Structure 1
């Protein structure tokens, strides 16, 4: 009897794992996340602040390099409004991974390009790696829920430690 119970429990766990695996990397979800990511890159490249903000979940959190976390829609609006007012952007994205699982998904990739001051100053190149976590919305669409990024390049201080002396 004990063997039957243990075997039954094992079968339940195996079946549960199979059901959960069916929710991972659903082709339609991966495509939808990829399309949102591409729309974000287009919004940055086109200087379209509104189109970018529409791709962020109401409770989004961004973890920028060398800065405090930016939490919530109001704080994100302030941060990104200033960015779009101050710079134009040239962005090329490479996605190395897109994974969807249930109501969440993520992308792993790079953003390479430049921030170009609207006042005509010198372009500022960037080469960043990023992880974005997406959340399925009640209407079935996907929005960025969490984002973290940092540079693949050494900072000026890392290149020239004598600056700290």
Structure 2
């Protein structure tokens, strides 16, 4: 007599044939346990393969996000370091907010563009940098924590290095772009 034995694991079906032998119950039990042992080994091997595959996909997504953040930083720094404030509004969402230290929030793309224009107008800010500390993604949002440095040139032409931390929250757009939704920065004292 033949019977079917089905095990369901992680959405995959593994079918084993269970034999029923009238001659020897021991033989049946031995074959049944041998089959279940192999099935368990196959399940564990399948789990290991799936975990490795998922880890590789997660790692690739993190590397892709880091590349996106590095590219956005390069674009932002190019606008800042070349004193091109007109480039800033396109890097922020329509409802973006910038929270500068010791000042009121700046709301919306156009106001943010004006904020950066006013900050850059004296022409004494040079060599702005970002160093990414961490990035994370949760669905359509990602954040970047970074350290920044900047040289402020005084009237005699001497630079004073200032630094701080920044957090930018990005929103993934329907066209695939990541735009800054919230930009917070401080100044080390």
Same fold judged by TM-score > 0.5?
Answer: yes
What is the total number of aligned residue pairs between the two structures? 134
Alignment TM-score, normalising by the size of structure 1: 0.69
**Is residue 56 from structure 1 mapped to residue 95 from structure 2 by the alignment?**
no
Deviation, structure 1 residue 120:
6.8
- State TM-score, norm by structure 2: 0.61
Deviations 1:62-101 (A, max 9, x none): 1110111111123212211112222242212111112222
Q: 1: CA distance between counterparts of 2:188 and 2:59?
A: 29
Structure 2: tracts of 5 or more residues without a match: 1-9, 11-54
Give how far 1:25 is off. Answer: 7.9
Q: Per-residue deviation at 1:45?
A: 1.4
Q: Which residue does 2:129 correspond to in 1? A: 92
Work out the CA distance in 2 between the residues paired with 1:54 and 1:110: 23
Cα distance between partner residues in 1 of 2:157 and 2:103: 24
Unaligned runs of 5+ in 1: 1-10, 12-20, 154-165
CA contact (8 A) 1:33 1:134 kept: no
Deviation at 1:124, TM superposition (A): 4.9
Q: Choose 1 or 2 for highest CA Rg.
A: 2
Q: State which of 181, 184, 187 in structure 2 corresponds to 1:145.
A: 181
The answer to which structure, 1 or 2, has the higher relative contact order (CA under 8 A, 6+ apart) is 1
- Provide the residue aligned with 1:102 in structure 2: 139
